[in-house]
């Protein structure tokens, strides 16, 4: 069992609390929907830490680095919110108590407001003149807010960016520019909180203008507020081609994430595989199976009941025989094949031995990789036949 060093002397409770707050945010539903890096790790099935994020990765996050570079502090912080987070057995990675799934990607829509007409400073590099904290203060009286996300657009501006100034010779490269769209997403923890905010602040509802009970202003700008769902619906109506492109891209991204999350699981046991080398040209799986039956004095039905598997494709000079459990039968088969008292397709094989060590580990790794690729291929085929599932709208 791995033991962890305690946090370094002088680590204050406030630092641990600050890191715990950051962990709570990073592993929240709201952040995972936006954070592709964390989402891939949690949906993936890495051999060492399936569905978890290594602490060494978390320590590279800027908002954690500013508090600590000590793994033990992160472990202690995660231990403070065990209702949400779970540590790996060796305390080297963190996962969620309640797993995140792709089906949750659109769960934010019913609890999110779309707020537009935010003040933006024009110029060679347009920027917001307000912060996420300014937005949070406008809505925090209605309930807990889990995410405030300013909206930007990368690259050259389009019809969505009519107010942006033209690029100049001194402008940043287009690939590195982010144009503020004058809008922000405000996601509440509970739908009831959103409903309270909506009742006071909506300036439009289902595409129709509304007179808000409470007009929101930042600087000289009067903010426009609507439900995120209404905004999405309006975009589909105004820009059908753009929406189709987004939906196609979203489907592709969703499929890629599903494929990455697919991993064949197999808890193999050592000492269960025979490697056979120097098989004759006329060999096939039936010939190898017949030789195994002769060596074990067993019928095909008995071999099937024993769940033996011949890993071989016609034309190969090497093959493998997999047993479900280690037993003396493996040595018996090897001895008779090597001695030539049992032949394969009328010929003596060059070698037969039980795999061990690195060769055995590599055999099972290649087997698991093959089965994983097979599962992913089948998933792609099913997706192609069905035309894909409902797209995920990312706004």
Q: What is the pLDDT of residue 17?
A: 94
With 90 as the cut, is the pLDDT of residue 359 above it? yes
pLDDT exceeds 50 at position 185: yes
**CATH code of the domain in which 94 resides:** 1.10.10.10
Q: Residue 259 pLDDT > 80, yes or no? A: no
Query: Residue 177: inside a domain, yes or no?
Result: yes
Distance separating alpha carbons of residues 135 and 115, to the nearest angstrom: 9
* pLDDT computed for residue 174 by the predictor: 45
Residue 282 lies in a domain: yes
Q: Is residue 217 part of a domain?
A: yes
pLDDT score recorded for residue 157: 40
The reported pLDDT for the residue numbered 171 is: 44
Query: What per-residue confidence (pLDDT) applies to 392?
Result: 46
Mapping DSSP to helix (H, G, I), strand (E, B) and coil, where does residue 389 land? coil
**362: in domain:** no
**Which residue range is the domain that position 122 belongs to?**
109-244
158: pLDDT strictly greater than 50: no
Q: Do 187 and 123 share a structural domain?
A: yes
Q: Do 81 and 207 have their domain in common?
A: no
User: Do 114 and 222 reside in the same domain of the chain?
Assistant: yes
Question: Which residue among 79, 100, 121 closes a domain?
Answer: 100
For 46-62, how does the pLDDT look when each residue is reduced to its tens digit (9 = 90+)? 667 888 999 999 999 99
Q: Is residue 7, in this structure, part of any structural domain at all? A: no
Which pLDDT band holds residue 68 (cuts at 50, 70, 90)?
Answer: very high
Residue 91's pLDDT is 93
Residue 369 maps to a domain: no
Do 86 and 123 sit in the same domain of this protein?
A: no
Q: Dihedral through CA 209, CA 211, CA 212, CA 213, nearest 10?
A: -160
**Quick check: is 286 in a domain?**
yes
Same-domain pairing of 118 and 234: yes
Between 19 and 253, whose confidence is greater? 19
Banded model confidence at residue 104, pLDDT cuts 50, 70, 90: confident
Bridge partners, residue 359, by sequence? none
What is d(CA 147, CA 29) in angstroms, rounded to the nearest whole number? Answer: 10
**Residue 33 confidence (pLDDT):** 87
Mean pLDDT check: name the lowest of 9-23, 265-279, 301-315, 353-367.
Answer: 9-23
Confidence of residue 343 (pLDDT cuts 50, 70, 90): very high
CATH number reported for the structural domain that contains residue 145 in this entry:
3.30.70.330
Worst-scoring range by mean pLDDT, 149-153, 246-250, 255-259?
246-250
User: Structurally, how many domains does the chain consist of?
Assistant: 3
Which range has the worst mean pLDDT, 4-13, 73-82, 195-204?
4-13
- Considering the domain architecture, whether residues 121 and 72 belong to the same structural domain is answered as no
For the chain, the average pLDDT equals 84
Closest Cα to residue 19, out of 5, 7, 3? 7
Q: At what angle do helices 228-238 and 240-261 cross, to 10 degrees?
A: 120
Confidence of residue 242 (pLDDT cuts 50, 70, 90): low
Q: What band does 173 get if pLDDT is binned at 50, 70 and 90? A: very low
Considering the domain boundaries, does residue 181 fall inside one?
A: yes
Last residue of a domain, one of 80, 100, 120: 100
pLDDT at 386: 63
Among 65, 100, 135, where does a domain finish? 100
Judgement on whether residues 227 and 282 belong to the same structural domain of the protein: no
The average pLDDT across 318-330 equals 94
Q: Is the same domain home to 232 and 130?
A: yes
Rounded distance, CA 236 to CA 207, Å?
12
How crowded is residue 167: how many other Cβ atoms within 10 Å of its Cβ? Answer: 14
pLDDT of residue 1: 37
pTM: 0.53
- In a shared domain, residues 45 and 164: no
For residue 266, what pLDDT band results from cuts at 50, 70 and 90?
A: confident
pLDDT of residue 12: 72
Averaged over 352-364, what is the pLDDT?
A: 94
Distance CA 31, CA 24 (A): 10
- The percentage of residues in the chain with a pLDDT greater than 70, rounded to a whole number, is 84
User: Residue 179 in 3-state DSSP?
Assistant: strand
Q: Can you tell me the mean pLDDT for 349-363?
A: 94
Same domain, 145 and 174: yes
Lowest mean pLDDT among 179-188, 356-365, 370-379, 383-392: 383-392
Looking at per-residue confidence, does 155 or 306 come out higher? Answer: 306
Using alpha carbons, select from 106, 216, 194, 213 the residue that is nearest to residue 144: 194
Sequence-distant contacts of 166-171: CB under 8 A, at least 24 apart? 168/124, 170/124, 171/124, 171/125
């Amino acid at each position: 069992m791995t033991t962890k060093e305690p946090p370094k002397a002088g680590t204050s409770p406030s630092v641990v609390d600050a890191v715990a707050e950051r962990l709570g945010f990073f592993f929240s539903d709201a952040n995972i929907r936006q954070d592709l890096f964390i989402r891939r790790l949690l949906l993936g099935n890495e051999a060492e830490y399936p569905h978890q994020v290594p602490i060494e990765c978390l320590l590279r996050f800027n908002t954690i680095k500013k508090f600590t570079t000590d793994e033990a502090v992160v472990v202690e912080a995660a231990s403070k919110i065990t209702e949400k987070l779970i540590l790996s057995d060796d305390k080297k990675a963190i996962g969620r108590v309640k797993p995140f799934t792709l089906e949750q990607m659109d769960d934010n829509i019913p609890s999110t407001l779309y707020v537009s007409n935010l003040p933006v400073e024009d110029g060679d590099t347009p920027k917001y003149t307000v912060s996420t904290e300014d937005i949070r203060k406008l809505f925090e009286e209605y309930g807990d807010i889990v995410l405030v996300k300013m909206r930007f657009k990368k690259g050259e501006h389009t019809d969505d960016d009519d107010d942006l100034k033209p690029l100049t010779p001194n402008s940043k490269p287009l690939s590195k520019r982010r144009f503020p769209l004058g809008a922000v997403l405000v996601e509440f923890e509970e739908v009831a909180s959103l409903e309270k905010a909506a009742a006071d602040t909506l300036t439009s509802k289902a595409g129709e203008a509304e007179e808000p009970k409470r007009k929101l202003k930042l600087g000289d700008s009067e903010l426009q507020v609507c439900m995120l769902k209404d905004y999405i619906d309006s975009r589909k109506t105004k820009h059908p081609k753009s929406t189709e492109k987004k939906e196609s891209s979203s489907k592709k991204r969703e499929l890629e994430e599903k494929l990455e999350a697919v991993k064949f699981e197999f808890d193999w046991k050592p000492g269960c595989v025979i490697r056979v080398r120097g098989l004759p040209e006329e060999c096939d799986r039936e010939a190898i199976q017949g030789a195994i039956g002769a060596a074990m004095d067993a019928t095909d039905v008995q071999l099937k009941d024993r769940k033996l598997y011949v890993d071989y494709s016609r034309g190969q000079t090497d093959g493998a025989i997999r047993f479900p459990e280690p037993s003396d039968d493996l040595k018996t088969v090897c001895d008779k094949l090597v001695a030539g008292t049992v032949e394969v397709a009328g010929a003596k094989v060059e070698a037969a031995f039980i795999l061990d060590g690195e060769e055995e580990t590599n055999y099972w790794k290649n087997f698991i990789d093959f089965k994983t690729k097979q599962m992913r291929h089948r998933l792609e085929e099913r997706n192609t036949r069905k035309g894909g599932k409902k797209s995920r709208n990312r706004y």
